[in-house]
Amino acid sequence: MEHAISHPAFVRRRQDSSHSHAAVCRWDSSCIDDLDPADIAGTRFLVVSASQYHARTDRRLLIRLGAVDVSYESSGVRAARRVVSGKVDCVILDGSLSDMSGLEFVRLIRLHPRTALMPVILASMENDRSAVMEALASGISGYLIRPYSMVGLARQIGRILETPAREIEEGMGVSRAAFKEALARYKTAPAAAASQSAQAPDTIETLLAEVDELLRVNALDAAYEALNPLVRAKDALVRGEAHLRLADIYRRKANPAMRKDSLAQAGACFQDAGDLERAAECFAMLQELNPSEPSPDELTARNCLRNRDYRGAARIYARMLAVTEPDAVSRSISRACMFTADPVTNARLVCNELGVLRGEESEDIYKKIVGPPSRKVEELPEYEERARGVVAEVFAVARYTMRAYRGGSNPGVSHAPELLKIGA
């Protein structure tokens, strides 16, 4: 036998409370005609979830709807004790708690007469029919599939608020003794440890798994928001994983510029973390997007060469050699030296520093970059121009083109031999 008990939270108070909470509600009331902000403001909500990200999302949406009293618990045991004390009017429940599943929590509180009919809205990432039917059989009042919208949450709450809260009498398997017996099966953490666990952040693996699940269902905005704390993490490997997922989001949003930036940052983070294989994958994807565009490391090395910071440029090239083909790095050094005032000298200085860092002969590195090494003029003067290698030749052509451009006239064939001479 059951009888109705009217909870103050579920009594309409439009006459005396609507004006005081109008400023609190920040949602378009036209989307839900039957839901009054005053009803939301007078309801005591409890968010129960093992994920602080899910809890923050639920709490933020409730506050935007106009909720004032929103508390949080990660433990099903502590949450169950709280709801049976009469301090909660509605529960927003996640599918996973720190000490039990969401459905176990529902079955637990349904054993107590005071909470046997308490409104419980389950927000889960399970969207198959069998999971929904199992949740309904467990006694939930509403079901939301993450990521859900504020309109969907408002509809669930509006439907619940239409029905007054009820408490049933003991009997038919519902009793305080049955609730205590079931509650005793779960281990209760000490108060200090419980407080710390409530404040402890989610593990990186959990957060990344949630982001991957959001990406799987194409919830790009929710995934982007979940990645915000990860891109500021102290661990370079975590930042790399976050930027890599941001690149995937920008790919789906058709934003190539931001995708390139995220890939570059991901590669740099993986390099700092020592994961050279992942860094190489990021740089390979970046190169595929625009083969003609230099990588961020190349641009930094060029700036070092312009500032005559040969050791800094050598460090960058040594790092590139760990994740890039040697021939590609050699071409990069050649192109960078080409735009300096003295390509041959700068190439030799970089090779010297690179040889010290890698424990190799600088002459061997120089050969890979600019071809055969220079020879003394008194020994073989006819090989002097060839000894300067590809870098000097390209630089001479570039210098000739620049002079012709500054002269304002088309370069003639008769001037080419004079301008193309090395050292002219």
Q: Which of 107-111, 221-225, 280-284 has the highest mean pLDDT?
A: 107-111
Nearest to 263 by CA among 233, 280, 278, 285: 285
Q: How far is CA 177 from CA 111, 170, 172, 228, 364, in A?
A: 9, 10, 13, 46, 84
Here the tokens at position 91 are 């529960």
Confidence of residue 355 (pLDDT cuts 50, 70, 90): confident
CA distance 45 to 69: 6
Q: Mean pLDDT across the stretch 212-229?
A: 83
Q: Is 90 exceeded by the pLDDT of residue 148? A: no
Q: What is the pLDDT of residues 258-300, one digit of tens each?
A: 998 898 888 888 878 877 778 778 877 887 887 766 776 777 7
Beta-strand relationship, 44-48 and 69-73: parallel
* 46, β-bridge pairs: 71, 91
Would you state the pLDDT for residue 243?
92
Q: What is the pLDDT of residues 166-186, one digit of tens each?
A: 666 666 668 888 888 888 888
The DSSP code for 44 is: E
Q: Mean pLDDT across the stretch 37-50?
A: 86
Residue whose entry in the numeric block shows the structure tokens 């269902």: 217
Q: Which amino acid is at 31?
A: C
Q: Is 50 exceeded by the pLDDT of residue 26? A: no
For the ranges 238-247, 308-317, 365-374, the lowest mean pLDDT is seen at 365-374
Q: What residue spans of 253-382 are helical by DSSP H?
A: 256-273, 276-289, 296-306, 310-323, 326-338, 343-358, 362-370
Q: Is 70 exceeded by the pLDDT of residue 149? A: yes
Q: Is 70 exceeded by the pLDDT of residue 393? A: no
CB 118 within 8 A of CB 83: yes
CB 357 within 8 A of CB 314: yes
Q: Is 70 exceeded by the pLDDT of residue 151? A: yes
Confidence of residue 73 (pLDDT cuts 50, 70, 90): very high
Would you state the pLDDT for residue 166?
62
Centre a 10 Å sphere on the Cβ of residue 404 and count the other Cβ atoms it contains.
16
CB 145 within 8 A of CB 222: no
Q: Is 90 exceeded by the pLDDT of residue 145? A: no
Greater pLDDT, 224 or 276: 224
Q: What is the largest CA-CA distance in the chain?
A: 114
Structural domains of the chain in order of their starting residue, each with its CATH number: 44-166 (3.40.50.2300), 204-289 (1.25.40.10), 296-370 (no CATH)
Would you state the pLDDT for residue 247?
93
Q: Mean pLDDT across the stretch 402-419?
A: 54
Would you state the pLDDT for residue 122?
94
SS (HEC) of 371-413: CCCCCCCCCCHHHHHHHCHHHHHHHHHHHHHHHHHHHCCCCCC
Centre a 10 Å sphere on the Cβ of residue 198 and count the other Cβ atoms it contains.
16
Confidence of residue 192 (pLDDT cuts 50, 70, 90): very low
Greater pLDDT, 380 or 49: 49
Residue whose entry in the numeric block shows the structure tokens 């510029």: 257
Here the tokens at position 84 are 């049976």
pTM of the model: 0.50
Quote the percentage of the chain above a pLDDT of 70. Answer: 71
Q: Mean pLDDT across the stretch 362-388?
A: 55
Q: Which amino acid is at 191?
A: A
Centre a 10 Å sphere on the Cβ of residue 78 and count the other Cβ atoms it contains.
20
Q: What angle do CA 15, 16, 22 make, to 5 degrees?
A: 95
Q: Which amino acid is at 246?
A: L
Rounded to the nearest 10 degrees, the angle between the axes of helix 204-216 and helix 236-252 is: 10
Q: Mean pLDDT across the stretch 7-16?
A: 38
Round the average pLDDT of the chain to a whole number and report it: 75
Burial bucket for residue 423 (CB in 10 Å: 0-12, 13-18, 19+) = exposed
Greater pLDDT, 190 or 63: 63
Q: Which amino acid is at 379?
A: E
Report the sign of the C-alpha dihedral through residues 317, 321, 324, 325, in that order.
positive
Establish how many alpha carbons lie within 13 A of residue 283's alpha carbon, considering only the half-sphere containing its beta carbon. Answer: 25
Q: What is the pLDDT of residues 238-252, one digit of tens each?
A: 899 999 999 999 999
CA distance 175 to 217: 41
Would you state the pLDDT for residue 230?
86
Greater pLDDT, 196 or 144: 144
Here the tokens at position 203 are 């593990």
Confidence of residue 102 (pLDDT cuts 50, 70, 90): very high
Q: Is 60 exceeded by the pLDDT of residue 384? A: no
Would you state the pLDDT for residue 287?
77
Q: Mean pLDDT across the stretch 294-323?
A: 79
Q: Is 60 exceeded by the pLDDT of residue 190? A: no
Here the tokens at position 351 are 């090779």
Mapped onto helix, strand or coil, the DSSP state of residue 122 is strand
Would you state the pLDDT for residue 168?
64
Q: Is 90 exceeded by the pLDDT of residue 90? A: yes
CA distance 342 to 397: 14
Confidence of residue 370 (pLDDT cuts 50, 70, 90): low
Would you state the pLDDT for residue 35?
65
